Chains A and B, each alone.
Chain A
């Protein structure tokens, strides 16, 4: 049987991210996939040579347009470790609140795009309508809908007043009620199950060996979540990583849906425990040394390697985003699937190509 070589992407009606795959197919079954990146490469790491360590926060935030607040958090934690700063407790709780709001909005965005990929447009619009409430919360408390610019070295820039806190808690109660109304549609509907159960299976050993991150790893049965290390205020909150064991697309969808509900619970815990206090400490001196900083972004584990030499500009800022780690597992899942399932499998690792290529 002769093989056909099919180029897929970067512009395609069903693909939300500019990723290019060269698929070799034989009779509609994919045999091999070769990726190609580089369509949105901006070279942001090189800007560290001409922008000082405070200005880099705003550049690092713009690496991704969905999980931007968590990039700034990871960077600020690394610089604070290099300079030996202790962030006040109220600032740590506020950072956690904005991080969890980001996680909810990212997972809702993904759930909508996933439903759109197999043609369920009305569910896509329902998820995004719920997401608008979270965007309003972010705009009122932090100033912008996505690129929040609230983190700074030493703490946060803005405070959440008591009436804003009450409004947030009322809104997340409504969000939880609306999400639970959609739970049976995304998890029990037979049309959704036909497209997702048994597709793209990643076994537990392969997921660990190939270095998968985030829901791709937790959907295959490994309970690892960077929030367990207790950065920001997570050491005082009570939670356990959400794990499913099947390793197929359905398991990863269930992990993300349950994590969105878990984030709502974490927000409630934060508001119950948040103390009064200062918002930031004043940094002194310039960062010197090497540090590796990790946080849990909605897509997985993100690593920052920062190296400073006591000068105004940092020597190196290296960013490794979770989608970069999830591309080898994707190339492992693709051979053997149908051509019509390729967009579902690409979406199930939650690609964010602007993060990958910076």
Chain B
């Protein structure tokens, strides 16, 4: 009657929770996690900057840079859908915590592989 069966069953089964950080959860395949860019494909059009609801992306066409503030980003994925060349993507794991706030800057090198610089 009532919760007696559940209580007795729980005495003899294993933990309902995971022993984090020794055991970590496998992230789901389609989760919206950290925002990343493939800088070689970017054409610096600025559509992602226009569509972003929290205004966290800054594109500079002259200096050929793409900057994002990962602490202002709400991880909605609008920029990923709006990009015409599909150079933006979201990982399935969320961004790791950092000790201080910082922006992430990507500089497009002409005709070479891109290097992310903080």
Contacts and interface: CB of A to CB of B under 8 A. Distances in A.
Interface of A: 51, 54-59, 62, 122-123, 126, 129, 136, 139-141, 143-144, 147, 149, 157-158, 181-182, 184-185, 188-189
Contact of B53 (A55, A129, A157): A55
A231 B9 CA distance: 43
Interface string B3-31: 10111000000001000000000001111
B3 A122 contact: yes
Given A123-B3, A140-B28, 7 more contacts: A51-B53, A57-B53, A59-B53, A143-B31, A143-B77, A157-B77, A184-B2
B3 A143 contact: no
B106 to A, nearest CB: 23
Interface residues of B, number: 22
B31 A144 contact: yes
Nearest to A158: B30
Interface of B: 1-3, 5-7, 16, 28-32, 51-54, 74-78, 81
A23 B80 CA distance: 51
> Looking at B3, B29, B54, which has the most chain A CB atoms within 10 Å of its CB?
B3
Nearest to B32: A143
A141 B28 CA distance: 9
B49 to A, nearest CB: 12
A354 B78 CA distance: 25
Majority SS at the chain B contact face: loop
Contact of A143 (B6, B16, B30, B51): B30
Contacts of B81: 157
Contact of B76 (A58, A184, A189): A58
A182 B52 CA distance: 44
Contacts of A188: 2
A296 to B, nearest CB: 25
B95 to A, nearest CB: 14
Nearest to B82: A54
Contacts of A181: 5-6
A141 B53 CA distance: 22
A54 B28 contact: no
Nearest to B76: A149
Contact of A149 (B2, B5, B52, B77): B77
B3 A126 contact: yes
A141 B77 CA distance: 14
Nearest to B27: A139
A224 B39 CA distance: 54
> Looking at B5, B16, B76, which has the most chain A CB atoms within 10 Å of its CB?
B76
15 contacts: A51-B53, A55-B53, A58-B53, A58-B74, A62-B74, A126-B6, A129-B16, A136-B28, A139-B28, A144-B31, A147-B74, A158-B30, A185-B3, A188-B2, A189-B2
> Looking at B51, B53, B75, which has the most chain A CB atoms within 10 Å of its CB?
B53
Given A58-B53, A58-B76, A59-B53, A184 B1 contact: yes
Nearest to B3: A185
A159 to B, nearest CB: 10
A189 B5 CA distance: 15
B51 A55 contact: yes
- Top 8 A-B pairs, shortest CB-CB distance: A143-B32, A58-B53, A55-B53, A140-B28, A149-B76, A185-B2, A185-B3, A58-B76
A10 to B, nearest CB: 26
Contacts of A184: 1-2
A50 B52 CA distance: 13
Given A126-B3, A182-B3, A184-B2, A144 B51 contact: no
Contacts of B78: 58
A126 B16 CA distance: 10
